[in-house]
Amino acid sequence: MDHEAEGTLVTLLDEDGNEKEFEHLATLEHDGSSYVALVPAFLEPEELVESDGELVILKIIVDDSGEEILSSIDDDDEFDAVSSKFEKMLENDYEILEDNETDGDELDEDGDEDGDE
């Protein structure tokens, strides 16, 4: 995989062999390795609205035949460092919420927006 331009669609195979489309947001270097940030790409607007907008971060590695492939990051410290760098890089262009945060539009048990009585 040559370093794709931002906004490029990338097709990946999941663990079941199903093709999934992702949009390439950014590439960065960290400790001599390259990483990509991807988000799921959707054909229908409804799919985008229903998605959780999860950022997928993968490491670019070279296999035995010299082909660049994307791999998950197994080391927690490496993942934390790289994801922090991506968050800083992307925070001006995208709203980044922590896992336990919401965008403020969640409804409480009464069907009202949080904080409204």
The pLDDT tens digits for 7-55 are 689 998 888 999 988 989 899 999 999 999 998 887 766 766 666 667 8
Distance CA 61, CA 68 (A): 6
**Encoded tokens for 86:** 């991506």
The model carries a pTM of 0.68
Residue 75: pLDDT band (50, 70, 90) is: very high
Sign of CA dihedral 70, 71, 72, 78: negative
Q: Say whether pLDDT at 63 is over 50.
A: yes
Q: How many CB atoms lie within 10 A of CB 36?
A: 21
- Averaged pLDDT score across all residues of the chain: 77
